[in-house]
Copies of this chain bind each other. A is one copy, B any other.
Amino acid sequence: MTIRTDTRNNKWFCEANSQFWPGQEFSIEIEEILYQQRSKYQDVLVFKSKTYGNVLVLDDCIQCTERDEFAYQEMAAFLPLLSHPDPKRVLIIGGGDGGVIREVVKHPQVEEVILCEIDEDVIDVSKKYLPNMAQGFANSKVTVIICDGCEYLKQHTNEFDVIITDSSDPDGPAEVLFEEPYYLLMKAALKQPYGIICCQAECIWLDLPLIKKLVRIGSRLFPSVAYANVSTPTYPCGALGFLVCSLNENAKLTEPNNIKLANELNTKYYTADIHRACFALPAFVRKELEDMNK
């Protein structure tokens, strides 16, 4: 873990990663370190920052800050939920901070949410240090299972309307979540004919080869596929994307199917207009994805 002391003797958490974002670094000033332990799977750090609220860090990568987490959580939840005609049963793989749950249960048609998180420590520290995110765990629609996402999926087929993969980067416990076998398992776990997945799919400015790989996997397995880009200040390059795939060949993923609901979800980032807009990709991204299909 990289904690640096500046000339005024203030401490900063520095997010350097020579593999995934070489030559650049984002730092947040630390007010106080609240938790720092190795879990069974990863290094878990929580600190109170000077200007971003409490911050959760896994294996040296910022997972969320209280100040801007809503952008990611709302988009992960509502892009698939507002593209499904009747999203009753939702599975979340990862998401141990509880933020995606908090959003998913706002959708009036959702009846049951299963959260499958591999690392119980993430849930415990989030309940303690990120209470606004972890509030979703108290909802009666929610069941938490501590389990490897792949193992859980192997036991469940044809069960879910929506599967959301809220994972860390493809390094460490989340690595398998960026591979075709995982996508095959998700596909099998979806209900026909409208099942939808929404997966954390990295950054257009840093990970275009990986994004192309994920779009290729998605397109082989699903008739409808779209990639969304979201403004997320505390992720590298300030942007993070989602891959959304539907079993339904007529799915209109880039348009919310209930405009009134989309605008009444008490959100801070998501709106019906944002839902449409996030699928408009910069020319250099669109070209790479189009060239793939030639």
Contacts and interface: CB of A to CB of B under 8 A. Distances in A.
A280 B284 contact: no
A185 interface: no
Given A237-B238, A239-B231, A271 B280 contact: yes
Nearest to A239: B231
A286 B270 CA distance: 11
Nearest to A71: B282
Interface in A149-189: none
**Copies of the polypeptide in the assembly:** 2
A132 interface: no
B269 A286 contact: no
Interface residues of A, number: 42
Interface stretch (A23-31, A105-113, A211-219): A23-31
A249 interface: no
Interface string A233-270: 10001110000000000000000000000000001111
A133 B71 CA distance: 33
Nearest to A51: B23
A276 interface: yes
A52 interface: yes
Nearest to A273: B280
A27 B274 CA distance: 30
Contacts of A278: 277
Contact of A276 (B26, B51, B280): B280
A62 to B, nearest CB: 11
Nearest to A26: B26
A282 B73 CA distance: 13
A205 B204 CA distance: 20
Contact of A268 (B238, B239, B284): B284
A222 interface: no
Q: Chain B CB within 10 Å — which of A24, A52, A278, A279 has the most?
A: A24
A148 to B, nearest CB: 32
Contact of A270 (B51, B68, B231, B283): B283
29 contacts: A12-B25, A14-B27, A23-B28, A23-B49, A24-B26, A24-B27, A24-B29, A24-B51, A25-B26, A25-B29, A26-B26, A27-B27, A204-B231, A229-B231, A231-B238, A231-B282, A232-B238, A233-B238, A233-B239, A268-B284, A270-B282, A270-B283, A271-B286, A274-B280, A274-B282, A276-B277, A276-B280, A277-B279, A277-B280
